[in-house]
Amino acid sequence: MITDRIINSEYSDIMQKSYIDYAMSVIISRAIPDIRDGLKPVQRRTLYDMGELGLRSDRPYRKCARIVGDTMGKYHPHGDSSIYEALVVMAQDFKKECPLVDGHGNFGSIEGDGAAAMRYTEARLQTLTEEVFLKDLDKDTVDFVPNFDETEKEPEVLPVKIPNFLINGSEGIAVGMTTSTPPHNPVEIIEAQKAYIKNRDITLDELLEIVKGPDFPTGGIVTNADELKNIYESGTGKIKIRGKVITEKGKNGKTNLVVTEIPYTMIGSGISKFMSDVADLVESKKTSDIVDISNQSSKEGIRIVIELKRDADAENIKNLLYSKTRLEDTFGVNMLAVSGGRPETMGLYQAIASHTAFLFDLNTRKYTNLLKKEENKKEIQEGLIKACDCIDLIIEILRGSKKREQAIDCLVNGNTTGIEFKSPQSENDARELKFTLKQAEAILDMRLVRLIGLEINALKKEYEQTLKNIKDYSEKLNDRSAMSRQIIADLDEIKGLFVNNTRRTEIGNYSTAVFEAKPVEETDVVFTMDRFGYAKLIDMPTFERNKETIENDDNSFRYYFTVKNTGRIGIFTNTGQLHIIKALSLPLSKLRDKGIPVDNLSNFDSSKERFVLVYDLEKIISGNLLFITSLGMMKFVNGSEFDVTSKRTVSCTNLSDNDELFEVKLYDEENDRQILLQSKGGFFLRFALEEIPEKKKGAVGVRGMKLAEGDELEAVYYMNYADERTIEYKGKQMMLTRVKLTKRDGKGIKVRI
């Protein structure tokens, strides 16, 4: 009988352990590259599978769907999309300094176009991948581990002979950490590794004389060269990169700015976003010197043409593009890699040192394996040469033996029992034979053609070469300097594959781009906005010609007032917010043009807010504002409290629960002496405005009218002491002076008509 066992455990401890296990699995097995081969598991498995499928660079392409399916079925069970995405990226020359896959078909573009479906594209390995990444897998250079279901073996790491982690860079998001390593020029990295092998005490400064900095596939300019040493020392930092812009002559004497290289961070949708941002600069009137922008990029390279006005300052506009768009951007560096089974942030020196240690380990295992094979070959060659000297005796043994084992026993141990010889002398000679078992097997498998004189000479030459190889391999394994010379020679051979890899990215120190905006000629314009919130500016002559139309059209011109074109418009809403719009952000339009929704120019939300007051902010700042809420709370606020320059939205008052801003009035000291509040319940209260105190914008205010539960304000009227003004109430005329002048905070009187 099995007894139940209950294990008491703290729930938080179980969750913590489970989360740590999950995090480490993501870090090690999915998102972070290994410092040894610079590859993530999905990349490593895809390349290995392509090698197993025989997709060499000199063979036909194979459908990507086949590659993805085979990789997923054998090695990477996490889904086809991740495998195909990795395959596509390894084929994109605008993302990888050295593409590892030769893609055939639509593999996406630098402008953000996605690759075609895997059933339409084909791929094979690049020559570089064959020679540098997969070549020595058969020489026991790396360990093989079981795949996910233990039906196949896969390499723990590929025997990559160059620091791929630095050359192709990396990017990945794990749990609680990310990796982001910029790509580098392969020739520079190989030379730096050679320099480290020759002198392990080499300094970072000496390495940086060889490695000038990142070398992005998209080119561009690194503008903070002085900060690179700190970045390469710590493995973290920010690299400032900008696109390359040249000046060309345009039509009719105009000047064109042409973007020929973009920052690495603009790969993808960044180009369309850049063009959109340039258009926004024109629409927002940051500049009026840009006439047109067009993307003329092709297979030959990036070409984005920005047409300028004839008298435009091209250098100033270039600075505007650098300062206001992603044409100048920041690449965040975090050189995180898996080293020794754990994630580690490495500087340039540590990354080169780690890969060099791996390279020595690869070559040690490689030449140990080769030495073992040569020693086995030496043994057999010695046996065959010895056999050629007594071939007649061996033939006699073979003819006299009844079975293979009997002949082998004679060759190895000199046992002649049961073997028929032509003479006693032959039998005596046979007893003296002392071949090894391997030699005996080789002799029995030897073809008679090897007895030809030329073949025997070739065998002796092979034996001499084998002896040289054994000496050479033994020297490399026993003398580190000899191994170093061999690795350096291998690196020089690999460097020959990069004869066309000249540096693309320029490294230098450049000051921050500063755009000097042209001073705007200040003039009076008229701001107009319809009841739907579409706003625009019209010039004064247009307003004067159409003044009567504007005054009588309350729908199309609900708000209109004169404002400076350099001024600001303040929009107070029922939620107690003040939204600020620069007049320069509004188009100078024709009378019947629709304008721009204020939602697009501010944080105003038409689904939640309604307009209370829309007016020239400069006049608001210079005056006093009277705030009235729906529940009768009131206060004066000095307009200077709304003089803000860096914000688009300001909280202009504090509202109680279930209350909202009913009215904001720019106080007219001469005409606004009294106020009459009318509630929806039919109550009226008239009192002097001098009873309302001035408070800060963050205050709630004082109660102007004591409202019954469920009642709220319906209308507000302003008047002088001698004002005989009448209003329409319940379809009849009513004089405001009919309501007796009392004090603030009263219930008011119920007016019945």
- The residues assigned a catalytic role are 120
Residue with tokens 């409202």, as numbered in its chain: 707
Task: List alpha helices for 479-589, DSSP H.
Answer: 480-495, 540-545, 547-552
The most distant pair of C-alpha atoms in the chain lies apart, rounded to whole Å, by 156
Question: What is the spatial distance between Cα 308 and Cα 408, in angstroms, rounded to a whole number?
Answer: 92
**How many angstroms separate the CA atoms of 208 and 242, rounded?**
21
Residue 601: alpha-carbon gap to chain centroid: 29
Here the tokens at position 223 are: 């503008």
H/E segment holding residue 624: strand 624-629
Phi, psi for residue 673 in degrees, rounded to 5:
-105, -30
Picking from 76, 3, 66, the residue whose alpha carbon sits closest to that of residue 44 is 76
Taken in order 468, 473, 478, 479, the sign of the CA dihedral is positive
Q: Which residues pair with 703 in a beta bridge?
A: 633
Q: Residue 527 pairs with which residues in a beta bridge?
A: 537, 561
Q: Is the dihedral angle over the CA atoms 195, 200, 203, 204 positive or is it negative?
A: positive
Q: Are 281 and 266 in contact (CB under 8 A)?
A: no
Other C-beta atoms closer than 10 Å to the C-beta of 298 total 8
What are the structure tokens assigned to 685, written together? 């209260």
89, 233, 247, 116: which is closest to 170 by C-alpha? 89
CB 614 within 8 A of CB 670: no
Residue entry with tokens 């990036």 = 302
Residue 122: other Cβ atoms inside 10 A: 19
Distances (CA, A) of 219 to 94, 166, 299, 332: 10, 16, 15, 17
The residues near 6 (Cβ < 8 Å, ≥ 6 apart) are none
Q: Is the dihedral of CA 475, 480, 481, 487 positive or negative?
A: positive
Q: Do residues 692 and 636 lie in contact, with contact meaning Cβ atoms separated by under 8 Å? A: yes
In whole angstroms, what separates CA 508 from the centre of its chain? 23
- According to DSSP, the residues that pair with 657 across neighbouring strands are none
Cα dihedral: 531, 532, 537, 543 (round 10):
-30
